[in-house]
């Protein structure tokens, strides 16, 4: 049995090419479905219509979606990525304790010192608050 004769190199190339195109098609289909759900400008009816169109007639639905709404897909992806990055940055700032809502220990001590110098709190209260901030 001569396997190379039964399956020539060009046949292997075409098989690899069809597999690549099939995987590319599946990825494109899922990107479009994700874009349909991510789009805030579409209402529920619009999302349902596009989703049914893309699922029932996948080739035609994907091509029409890319022609009709493809230009905004990149913009929506960028906005979504920026929102995720902002949420991550806010989470890191909040966790690290350097966010806009939480002042550093030095800032808190400075404010506490100002309150004591105005006479609003006693020295004992100042010491307790200072220990609370430092520990």
What is the domain range of residue 130? 104-135
Task: Return the residue matching tokens 């979606």.
Answer: 65
Q: Are residues 39 and 91 in the same domain?
A: yes
Q: What percentage of residues in the chain have a pLDDT greater than 90? A: 41
28: which residues sit within 8 A by CB, 6+ positions away? 62
Looking at residue 29, what is its pLDDT?
92
What's the number of domains the chain is made of?
2
Identify whether residues 96 and 131 lie together within a single domain: no
pLDDT confidence of 2, banded at 50, 70, 90? low
Based on the fold, state whether residues 56 and 15 are members of the same structural domain: yes
Confidence (pTM):
0.57
How many CA atoms does the CB half-sphere of 102 hold within 13 Å? Answer: 13
Q: Looking at residue 1, what is its pLDDT?
A: 52
Assess whether 80 and 24 both reside in one domain: yes
Res 48: pLDDT: 94
Note whether 64 and 9 are same-domain residues: yes
Residues 111/102, Cβ–Cβ less than 8 Å: no
Q: Are residues 20 and 70 in the same domain?
A: yes
For residues 53 and 64, the answer to whether their CB atoms sit within 8 Å is yes
pLDDT at 97: 63
Structure tokens at 92: 């890191």
For the stretch 81-132, pLDDT in tens is: 999 999 999 888 888 765 444 567 888 888 888 888 988 888 888 899 888 8
Residues 6+ apart with CB under 8 A from 49: none
Residue scoring higher pLDDT (8 or 68): 68
Comparing C-alpha atoms, which of 59, 29, 33 is closest to residue 42? 33
């Amino acid at each position: 049995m001569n396997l190379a004769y039964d399956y020539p190199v060009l046949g292997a190339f075409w098989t690899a090419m069809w597999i690549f195109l099939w995987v590319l098609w599946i990825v494109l289909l899922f990107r479009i479905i994700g874009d349909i759900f991510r789009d805030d400008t579409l209402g529920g009816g619009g999302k349902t219509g596009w989703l049914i169109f893309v699922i029932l007639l996948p080739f035609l639905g994907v091509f029409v979606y890319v022609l009709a709404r493809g230009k905004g897909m990149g913009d929506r992806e960028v906005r979504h990525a920026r929102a995720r990055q902002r949420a991550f940055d806010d989470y890191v700032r909040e966790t690290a304790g350097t966010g806009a809502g939480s002042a550093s220990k030095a800032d808190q001590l400075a404010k506490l010192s100002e309150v004591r110098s105005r006479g609003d709190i006693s020295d004992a209260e100042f010491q307790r608050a200072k220990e609370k901030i430092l520990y």
